[in-house]
Structure formats: C-alpha cells, structure tokens
Amino acid sequence: MNGAQNAKYFKTGQYGKLYIVSGSHARGVTLKIFVLPDGVEAISNGLNNSPLNKDAVKVYGVVGGNPGWTEYYGWLHKGPWVDDFEALVNERKQLELAKKEDDYTARAERKEAERERENGLLSQY
C-alpha cells in the first residue's frame, strides 16, 4: 500500500520508544507506528497488531483511501519520532545494500573459481 513500503525492513516489535507494526493483507503491506512513554515496554497482543499499552499514541498509519483497498499511509502526528524512524529505515537500507554487495562479491568469486576449475580441467586434456 502507498506509504507502507518501509514495513519490509521491520518485524513487529519495539524499537526504542517506537512500536512498529509491520503486516500485510491481500492488497499489500501495512505499517503502523506508535510512540511509547519513556521507560515503558510495549505489551504485544501476539497478533501482529497494536500494542496493548493504553498510553501508546499512534503516530503513523492509514490517512486516507478505502482501508484494505486503496488505503494510503502517512504521519498522523509529526515530531522527533519521524527522524528516529527515518534513521532506523536508513540503517536497515544500508544493511540491505551491504548484504547485496556481499552476495554479489560471493557470486563473482564462485563464478571465477568455477571458471578456473573448468580451465584447469580442460587444459589437462
């Protein structure tokens, strides 16, 4: 769903003072973000949904469209949590990029080793 693409970087859970709910439905991914008070641990309901904490404030979620069909996501309240969330996303993007680079390097090394093995076998014929 539009605006929920960053859900792929997170499992539902607490990230500092943020509780991020990453989910999906038939039309795509979903994303909700809650701010928790200082020193409070989120109480998960175990269903990949909102925390059970009564004092949590939802700051990101559906802002328009037809829920389940054409919904789109955005900030319900803006504040310093926006920068905190963006920092978390950027950190995960960097990790994803590093993993892709590592995978590419490993594939290239395997391909080169296979080429050397083949050339060695063929040169001994």
pLDDT tens for 31-59 read 999 999 999 999 988 777 889 899 999 99
pLDDT tens for 64-83 read 998 878 899 999 999 999 99
**Separation between Cα atoms, residue 59 and residue 66, nearest integer Å:** 19
Determine the average pLDDT of the residues in 97-116.
88
**Up-side HSE of residue 11: CA atoms within 13 Å toward CB?**
2
pLDDT, residue 115, reads 92
